[in-house]
A and B are shown apart, each in its own frame.
Chain A
Amino acid sequence: MKKTGLIAASIVGLLMASAAHAQTSIKIGVLNDRSGIYSDITGEGSAIAAQMAAEDFGTDKGITVEVVSADHQNKPDVGSNIARQWYDTENVDVIADVPTSSVALAINDITREKNKIFLNSGAATSDLTGSKCSPNTVHWTYDTWALANGTGSAMVNAGGKTWFFLTADYAFGHALERDTSAVVVANGGEVLGVVRTPFPGTDFSSFLLQAQASGAQVIGLANAGGDTINSIKQASEFGITQGGQALAGLLMFVNDVHALGLDVAQGLVLTESFYWDLNDQTREWSARFEEKTGKKPSMIQAGVYGAVLHYLKAVEAAGTKDAEAVMAKMKEMPTDDPLFGKGVVRQDGRKVHPMYLFRVKTPDQSKGEWDLYETVATIPADKAFRPLADGGCELAK
């Protein structure tokens, strides 16, 4: 962190020295989990991604950027305290990242109250652009609807007609299961059964055996974090994917797969909006990212880069950092960045871009440490996210 701070300070210093005509100074607060379960997929990497966006945007446009960061420890009260303090006393203009839905929703409210801008990349809840949408929020990378839809529809189209769900028994798990089953049925598939697992759980063996016995082609894991990791590990012990059933993770990230290893995770299917090995541009950017962090970026970190870059372009176009003007510009200008390609930010704050269905490679197929996915299907941008009219967002009317 100190290093980023120093880099930020030196960049600001350089700018002050060289560009005397600098008019706008922007302070970006990257608020995420830096010590807990999401620190790998967000954490310091997201702060570095924001810094890279500032560097790639360029220093010759009269906009100086400073990036600060903090750890919300996945606690809404800690996060909301930091956010208020940033907005009220430290002149932060925009907060980026913020994984963990409860914290993200709190920051969503505060940002609206203080009339600043919130660029969410890390949180999964589709409420951010649905019932709780705000004119000050952009939700960039993914949401639960997109994940359920991507995995559900693409799997059915790829031949996985019959499903069995392993659902974490709480609101988030139920929502994932409900959304995914709806997609599966709408695409002509069939849900053979569901088993609700206690949350948080450690022993999934009996549930996995039920799923195996159901004979379903696809076992959907409607859970997250430690539950997903545990259920995948145990599924591998039962040889479920080797037995011909596909395992579909509904909320998984490339870092999780990397941590599990290909032996355990092989054959797993999942949806993401970004993978480092998609094309030349993503490879080039990810190589630079890896140089700084020692890891390939997650889609959340890529999303922070994309969102910050688009925000800075909007500030330049608007000629001001006034939240209303910048938000209007962000929604008016099409987005274009090396990681997500061309896209738009909708009226409800939803950024739309294609989503990808990936399958985890077997150890034989993999050619390197981070060579983890093969692309099974691409879900085009217009089908990847919840239609504007269905979210119940007041801004969409």
Chain B
Amino acid sequence: MSAVSEAINLPSANASHEMGMSGLHKAIFAALLVAGLMAPFVLYPVFVMKVLCFALFACAFNLLLGFGGLLSFGHAAYFGGAAYASAHAAKVWGFTPELAILTGTLGAALLGAAIGTLAIRRQGIYFAMVTLAFAQMVFFFSVQAPFTGGEDGIQSVPRGLLFGFIDMRPDLNLYFLVLGVVFLGLLAIYRIIHSPFGQVLKGIRDNEARMTSLGYRVNRYKLAVFTLSAGLSGLAGATKAIVFQLASLTDVYWTMSGEVVLMTLLGGMGTVFGPIVGATVIVSLQNYLATFGDWVTIVQGVIFVVAVLLFREGIVGVIAKLIRKPL
């Protein structure tokens, strides 16, 4: 891990853009925005919205894993929990979509704070297991609780009227809302990573004992990043529930926690843009290989094996190494 982060971080120290956004990153964000604005006219909008939601989810997860050094194996709980909360808010309480998404996000952040308080007391594999255990508890809650609809999930969630007057039923209207939400989420993550807070996080990731000896209250930082990551995962899950008009057990099941790890590793852990690439690749595979039946899981597995064997830094990590600039 430390070798990887050195390879990525060293050039950035020279670039003297530690806090602000480097020119390259500005250009990439601009290109992403342009691509995002054009995508619905080329590709199927609902598919692109799904990619966007998972890109945000993977980036939120990467904030915790790539920059906090904490491998959570229970992020489905926040993603799916928020999906249930926002679906319930929109369907039963009649919230407008922006309020429903906010409800889901806040719910996930609270859940993250509660679980995080207990989980950060352990490290490494134990941390992963504790988060997995809590996520399974959320899963069982979702199976049993009366308002989640059991294995049927919450269905026919209305897309509603944004701010009470913009009809979200046409796919394109909703698309631009989702693009806005996800883009703001990504910028927020970028800001967090490049803030003094983010620098402390990287310090904790690379050498926790040294940060403690320097006088940082390590656990507070860990809890903060855990809560932020959970909240942003929730933002992605809540948005996805509005897009697909449903929340189901798939979103809280442990395989979802595994999928986001896969997306992050494939794209490039600890890079800013890697998880976006990873999420795009995985979601596209699921979508375009759907007609080939059982090949989806096989191809996913092969890609993961190849990634681990040939480019452990992930797609974007390898590119960053080649151009000797952090991405």
Chain A residues near B (Cβ < 8 Å): 1, 34-35, 39, 43-44, 68-78, 80-82, 84-85, 88-89, 101-102, 105-106, 109, 125, 127, 132, 169-172, 199
Contacts and interface: CB of A to CB of B under 8 A. Distances in A.
B316 interface: no
Given A80-B244, A102-B248, A172-B151, A109 B156 contact: yes
B290 A72 contact: yes
B203 interface: no
A71 B294 contact: yes
Main secondary structure of the interface of A (DSSP, over half): helix
Interface stretch (B27-35, B43-51, B105-113, B305-313): B43-51
A34 B244 contact: no
A171 B151 contact: yes
A77 B247 CA distance: 9
Contact of B155 (A39, A73, A132, A199): A132
19 contacts: A1-B293, A35-B296, A43-B293, A71-B292, A71-B294, A73-B296, A74-B250, A76-B244, A76-B248, A76-B250, A77-B248, A78-B290, A80-B245, A81-B50, A85-B47, A105-B155, A125-B152, A170-B143, A172-B150
Contacts of B149: 171
Contacts of B144: 169-170
Contacts of A127: 152
Interface string B273-306: 0000000000000110011111011000000000
Main secondary structure of the interface of B (DSSP, over half): helix
Given A78-B286, A132-B156, 20 more contacts: A1-B291, A35-B296, A68-B291, A71-B291, A73-B296, A75-B250, A76-B244, A76-B246, A78-B287, A80-B246, A81-B46, A81-B50, A102-B248, A102-B249, A105-B152, A105-B156, A170-B144, A171-B150, A172-B151, A199-B143
Contacts of A172: 150-151
Contacts of B297: 35
Contacts of A199: 143
Nearest to A108: B155
Contacts of B150: 170-172
B294 A171 contact: no
The interface size bin for chain B is: 20 to 34
A109 B245 contact: yes
B287 A81 contact: yes
Given A35-B297, A85-B47, A102-B249, A73 B151 contact: no
A78 B244 CA distance: 9
B153 interface: yes
A73 B293 CA distance: 9
Contacts of A34: 293-294
A171 B153 CA distance: 11
A170 B143 CA distance: 6
Given A77-B244, A77-B248, A81-B46, A39 B152 contact: no
B75 interface: no
Contacts of B249: 102
B152 A171 contact: yes
